[in-house]
Amino acid sequence: MICLPLLVQAEELEKNYCHETATWTEWDAIIDKHPGDMGLQALHALRIGLCKKVERGNLTVTQATTIFEDIRKALIEQRMQEQKDEKPAL
């Protein structure tokens, strides 16, 4: 029971990027620059959905951040593997 207040405090300190206008502007610029990049489109859609779920109280900011970061990291790893596979053998 002693840990519970600490967990609540830690969650309250978690940054909620859903309410940052600058972050949404940045995402819009990225999507405008790369409209055919389905990986970025998927991340953008995921972000929109996660923010809605946080606003509704279905997810905490920490849970939404974890989901987003896990998917983002998987996309980065996929892209790195694709680039590695495209390099010609010497």
The Cα–Cα gap between 77 and 83 comes to 10
Percentage of residues of the chain with pLDDT beyond 70:
82
The total of other beta-carbon atoms located within 10 Å of residue 51's CB is 19
Structure tokens at 25: 């502007």
Give the SS3 label for residue 85: helix
Angle at 36 between CA 72 and CA 32, to 5 degrees: 85
Buried b (16+ CB within 10 A) or exposed e, 57-87: eebbbeebbebbeebeeeeeeeeeeeeeeee
pLDDT one-digit tens code per residue, 23-55: 999 999 999 999 999 999 999 999 999 999 999
* Greater model confidence, 11 or 79: 79
Listing DSSP states for 54-73 in one string gives: HHHTSS-HHHHHHHHHHHHH
Confidence of residue 86 (pLDDT cuts 50, 70, 90): confident
